[in-house]
Chain A
Amino acid sequence: MIETLAAFMIKEVRHILRDRQTLTILLLMPLVQVVLFGYALRSDVRDVRLAIVDPSPDYASLALSQRFEAAKRFRIVAVAPSMGAIEPLFKRGQVDVAVSFDPEFAAHLESHEPAHVLIAVDASDPNTGSTMQTYARAVIMAYEQELGANHPQAVQIVPQVRMRFNPTLESVNLFVPGLIALVLTLVSALMTAISLSREKERGTLEILLVSPLRPWQIIIGKVLPYLGLAFANVLTALLAAWLIFHVPFRGSITLLLVESIIYSMVSLGLGVLVASLTSTQRVAMLVALLATMLPSTLLSGMVFPLASMPGILQLLSNIVPAHWFIVIARGIMLKGVGLEHLWRETLVLVGMTLFFMIAAVKSFKARVA
């Protein structure tokens, strides 16, 4: 029994090791993903190109401009007397934000009248736009408070924006748990689906089913080597996140690794199920991509916050395994909580693992019967 399984697993490991190209891609993928996502897909914005529109510079408008210049996120690329001069820059995308002062900015401030500042933002990307707007407001607010300390009456009412938990808006912290989920899904579900449907397509599966190997042994033999690969990927992703982006690690590493294994099993089960329901590698690959990658990126809360989705999608996100894993991984990494807070999510994942594994074995048997 064990020898039979061992012989099968050795063969699987040989397949994986022999296909050097795929193996290299799979091993490097987490690193590339962390770096790419970490740098490219952040919703916090750096290097905002700012234009200052100051029709009649006075001490207050100059002081505020200086605050912008001092703020690390902003870089002043143009100073003009009127909005009209800025407009072409805007249109060409050479300016992200323009701050335009009232002609009598300082005078208004002194006379305790509302002094107006217009923040114009290139909102062609709405997320980035609103973020940049928030940054600009923050700079202006800070200056206002500074003034308010000297002129108590001059305090004006400004809508207040507070950023909790992530005061620097480090979105990479939020992405890394999602990335781990994505990489695990890709390796586990996609690779098993491909590898199993390849056996089907080439006719080797028939030979295996005629042999004394049982369906569950074929599944275990397929799944375990990829579990090893997935584990290596988690370690790479974590290491890259920690070394390159200094993502905090507040909770138990062991717990996170165990949860990663559970999550991989869910994806592996899903991959096996996909392979046994489809008949060619190509279809299996497409179905695996659609069934895992899309929900894992879109409906898991990895990139887009679930709270801002319509109710039906929020409901749907409950059946996406990545959603639960991301809650767990964020909890462990960013909040440092343990199983006492995450046992429900963990149970959901364990339940999903059982469901997919049993469904996979069943669908296998259905073909034999």
Chain B
Amino acid sequence: MNLDYSQFFHMMPEVTLMALLVIVFIVDFVTAHKAPIVLTDEKTGPSPRPWFNPLVCIFMLAHILVNICPTESASVFGEMYVTSPMIGVVKTILAFGTLIVFIQARTWLSRPDSTFKEGEFYMLIISTLLGMNMMVSANHFLLFFLGLEMASVPMACLVAFDKYRHNSAEAGAKFILTATFSSGVMLYGLTFIYADAGSLYFNEVAKNLSATPMTLMGMVFFFSGLGFKISLVPFHFWTADTYQGAPTTITGYLSVVSKGAAAFTLCTILMHVFGALMQQWQYLLGIVIVLSITIANLFAIRQTELKRFMAFSSISQAGYIMLAVMGNSGMGVTALTYYILVYVVANMSVFTIISAIEERNNGVTDMDAYNGLYSTNPKLAFLMTLALFSLGGIPPFAGMFSKFFVFMAALEQGSAWAYLIVFIALINTVISLYYYLLIVKAMYINKSENPLPAFKSDCNTRLALAICTLGVALFGVCSYVYDWIFAAL
């Protein structure tokens, strides 16, 4: 069989990512140096390869720019792989989130105990991103599964990246164990689907699937696999431990990019493949959303450890993201994608600040460190407030618009069920506002005996914060962003 190489043109994002991966590999290989593994508390000292991070960021930016124009709809490689303008937009958003992660990772990567692993870090992240791209573009359950695994396995390495820190290693172990378990459950569910539909192609499954108890079970098990990635209740248990243990930068990556890719995939698969079970999955989704938002909020209220806190916040945000799917409409897909974009900037902003504070607080991310932050670092406190306001959905920040659109999308379904779910979600926004404001209160109102001394952030942190804050402030007010996504539909 002759391979038609022109098909690769439709896979531009994957091709450029692959190229990026190879370049980083070669560069890292050529310039690597034998670094003694020093485990000290020493945090200063020049990085041996100061040009490496900017180089990768520029390449990543190039990757985004090359692929920013929405692609034509196409399906290649025997319809295993599909692409459409919307998929292009999602990939761009994922790459954008990754770029921010790269930018803000520099401080952390230049520490003596991780600087010799810098190349690995980029390679691992790029391979997870490649996996997510495959997952988003899949039109066949096998390719989808490959993409999912490709995104999860390197992710476990990333979570355990600070391997000499007990927390990080433990988080990595927990992540890989639960990930394997959930993959198993999901594969088990897929066998039921295959048994009924006789095919793993999305189009054929959509055509042949019948609503029987068996397929229903298959669907729920499949759902649990992606629910694990998005960290929906009750598949969320890994989240808190992993988020807390992983290096902060990775936590940020995990909470936005990985979650966003999985949410989009789940959305398209539910809408396009499980049409026969639509009624059932709408109920399923409703239950899971309510559980996720409510339980995560209840957990979040009591947290004092900020990364753990953000883990529960991200579970609750996942519930909001999935609300968009309830409507089963094109508007829902747009709302979901928009939500992901807004969530990327707001959450990355928070994680960048957490990371900056952690750096100066001996690696502790307790809420106590934020007491009185406003008096010493007013600008940082202000940016954190903006990001938290956006997460809480306070106008005029982008988060308010994204929440508004997902609610609209969910209400489009029009059933009493949808109204009930949206109502519960609305009540929960009040609770979430409460705990987001707890941090704001800590920064502005709480007094502290010895607040964190004033410090100047390095330029990478500033750049990342500037991009995120611009996004938080403008993505909502400028309708072009939403229109850009909507146009890709």
Say whether A associates with B. no
